[in-house]
Amino acid sequence: MATKKSAQSETDVALKALDLLQEIVWAIRSRQSNELSDGVSYLRHLALNEKSERRRKEKAPKSTLLDRKKDLKALVGSMSLVLADAELFPSNEDIAKFAMEALRIPISRWEKRSRYEMIGMLVMESINASPARLREVAGLLSRISEESESMAQIKQSARQTGFSWNEAIRSLSTTVE
């Protein structure tokens, strides 16, 4: 009995498919050939535009992600070098001040943390920084760590009272531009 039902349902499906095919043939014959080819061309054009737009959107985040990773690598490398300099940052307070002013990362209870704990914390927290801020600070830290003149200037300024990291960064960025 099950085979009779399945054979009948297959027959019904085949008849419905034939009806649909007959309607499609009728619709095609009722139109002029140039209308059909124009319609096909238009649909192909839409599909290709949609496909290229989707590809462009898929590629965009990957390039910004690669840029962000490159900025992070530069920041982590230069930050650890600069923060490990005991002349530039003689105390934890100096590191905490730099973190707040330059990176906008507050360090709670900095007086109870070790120097290396604070450096590690800053490296990990810098991952959450905005891409523009990340790029800016990474570039400046890189310049500080590479250029002995800039490093000497900042070390000298850091010993003075009223030293501001924001001002140091601003002065570095204006001398470089």
Would you state the pLDDT for residue 106?
87
Q: Where are the domains of the chain?
A: 60-176
The mean per-residue pLDDT over the stretch 11-29 comes to 87
Instruction: Answer yes or no: is pLDDT of 98 > 80.
Output: yes
**Which pLDDT tens digit goes with each residue over 117-167?**
988 888 888 777 777 777 777 777 777 666 667 667 777 777 776 677 767
Q: Is the dihedral of CA 54, 59, 62, 64 positive or negative?
A: negative
Would you state the pLDDT for residue 3?
66
**Which pLDDT tens digit goes with each residue over 44-59?**
888 888 888 877 777 7
Per-residue CA distances from 111 to 12, 101, 132 (Å): 82, 17, 30
Residue 176: CB atoms within 10 Å: 11
- What is the C-alpha to C-alpha distance for residues 106 and 151, in angstroms, rounded to an integer? 24
Q: At what angle do helices 33-83 and 115-125 cross, to 10 degrees?
A: 170
- Which segments within 6-141 are labelled E, that is strand? none
Would you state the pLDDT for residue 61?
57
CB–CB of 124/105 below 8 Å?
no
- Provide the whole-model pTM: 0.53
59 or 96: which carries more pLDDT confidence? 96
